[in-house]
Amino acid sequence: MPKNRRIEREGGGRQASIPRLAWLIGPALVAGVAYLDPGNVASNMTAGATFGYLLVWVVVLGNAMAWLIQYLSAKLGIVTGESLPEVLGRRLRNRWGRRAYWLQAELVAMATDIAEVIGGAVALNLLFGLPLLLGGAITGAVSISLLLVQSRGGAEPFEFVVIGLLAIIAVGFTFGVFVAPPDPAGIAGGLLPRFEGTDSVLLAASILGATIMPHAIYAHSALARDRFRSERGFSTRRLLRATRWDVTVAMLIAGTVNLCILLLAAANLAGVPGTDSLEGAYAALYTGLGPVVAVLFAVGLLASGQASTSVGAYAGAEIMHGLLHVRIPLIWRRLVTLLPALVILAIGFDPTAALVLSQVVLSFGIPFALVPLVSLTARSDVLGGFRNRMITTGAGVAASIFLIALNGLLLWLVLTGG
């Protein structure tokens, strides 16, 4: 039987004041950093610079789906007291099937690491002229120090640090939109779902891979589990209510920032030569909007790399522990997963191309996290009376079908050269 340690009757805990409930906000903001990693920046900047406002609808739709998905992930962790990998690790009884599932999840987590380390390296190069390989090593070293905060200080100090970085990210990536506002008519036109060729589908899949990130689904269930484990005074229903606010705030921030990145590029970089790379975009912003906008953009990119790489390492460790029942210290694991990104930087592979491709890899990992999540949260033997309502399950199924269909379309277009 599942360990439904959090299933309680409404009113089972003491009356909770609004300020005390507000104190429960945090796990979704940490998981939400995954929606603002350097892969998001590369995908949204490239989409705006290449296709203008065409893919605004993808960002909006992706954020709406992300709200539902992150809430379901947190609900699973709160009600069962287990993360999604832990629940799957118990239910996948075939050893090889469990290992195969772990392998794809691990590859997705590694793709996340690549995006985050490369983004941090590019930011350090833009700000201080550091070589990319050295910048990647520094990004990895700083992420290790952040992980030490989590492993030694616990969930709440880690949340404070990551949320502080989130504030820097938000300022860095939205400032330029106020300096050079986008065209309202262009934004309205971009809300109409459509594509223009294979490249636009590739970028749409990349945006969704960066917006709905598999490792964020795994991580959020674990973050909610760890954060609320000690909150015995609240009923499960009150914790879920606080979590809905937590997810709403996190997704509003992430969605607004992601949209601002695309709009900034669409309004100021569309058709400008060389803006298909982060370095080119930085140079164009510097020339067109001034050094303040460009430097804030680079600072936001640096903060996003540092914050999201820590969340990615946390997710990877949880995936391994839950599915293989093996726990490797976060620091050692971070050192191993740092290597692929450093190799890419060392061989001179285009950083922006690596970022965009890493997000496509992430988009193909979405169904493997999303389908089990929707299925498990709809089961009464897992969540008891807190299982999904039919409309919630229907929305989750619709999101899963859409994402799988988009990935299938992308694969067909790439293979056929359409």
Domain assignment present for 70: yes
Within a domain: residue 243?
Answer: yes
Which pLDDT score is estimated for 12? Answer: 41
Please report, for the domain that includes residue 335, its CATH number.
1.20.1740.10
Answer yes or no: is 145 within a domain. Answer: yes
- Domain span at 134: 18-416
Tell me what pLDDT residue 265 has: 92
User: 117: helix, coil or strand?
Assistant: helix
Residue 193 CA to residue 273 CA, distance in Å, equals 27
Check residue 7 and give its pLDDT. 40
H or E element at residue 387: none
Look at residues 66, 36, 64, 42 and name the one whose alpha carbon lies nearest to residue 163: 36
pLDDT at 355: 75
Q: Hey, what are 107's tokens?
A: 């590859």
Q: What pLDDT, on the 0 to 100 scale, is given for residue 353?
A: 79
Q: Is 3 a domain residue?
A: no
How many independent structural domains does the chain possess?
Answer: 1
pLDDT in tens, the chain (418 residues): 444 444 443 334 444 455 555 556 678 888 888 788 887 888 888 899 999 999 999 999 999 999 999 999 999 999 999 999 999 999 988 889 899 999 888 888 888 778 788 888 999 999 999 999 999 999 888 877 877 776 776 667 777 888 888 899 999 999 999 998 999 999 999 999 998 888 888 888 878 866 778 888 999 999 888 877 655 567 888 889 889 989 999 999 999 999 999 999 999 888 787 777 788 888 888 988 999 999 999 999 898 888 887 787 788 888 888 998 887 776 777 777 788 888 998 998 888 778 777 767 777 788 899 999 999 999 999 999 999 999 999 999 998 888 888 777 766 766 676 5
Per the domain annotation, does 195 fall within a domain? yes
Residue 1 placed within a domain: no
Residue 50 falls inside a structural domain: yes
pLDDT for position 177: 92
321 burial via Cβ count (<10 Å: 0-12, 13-18, 19+): middle
Determine, yes or no, domain membership for 212: yes
Compute the distance between CA of residue 313 and CA of residue 329 in angstroms, rounded to an integer: 10
Amino acid identity at 379: R
Residue 14 confidence (pLDDT): 43
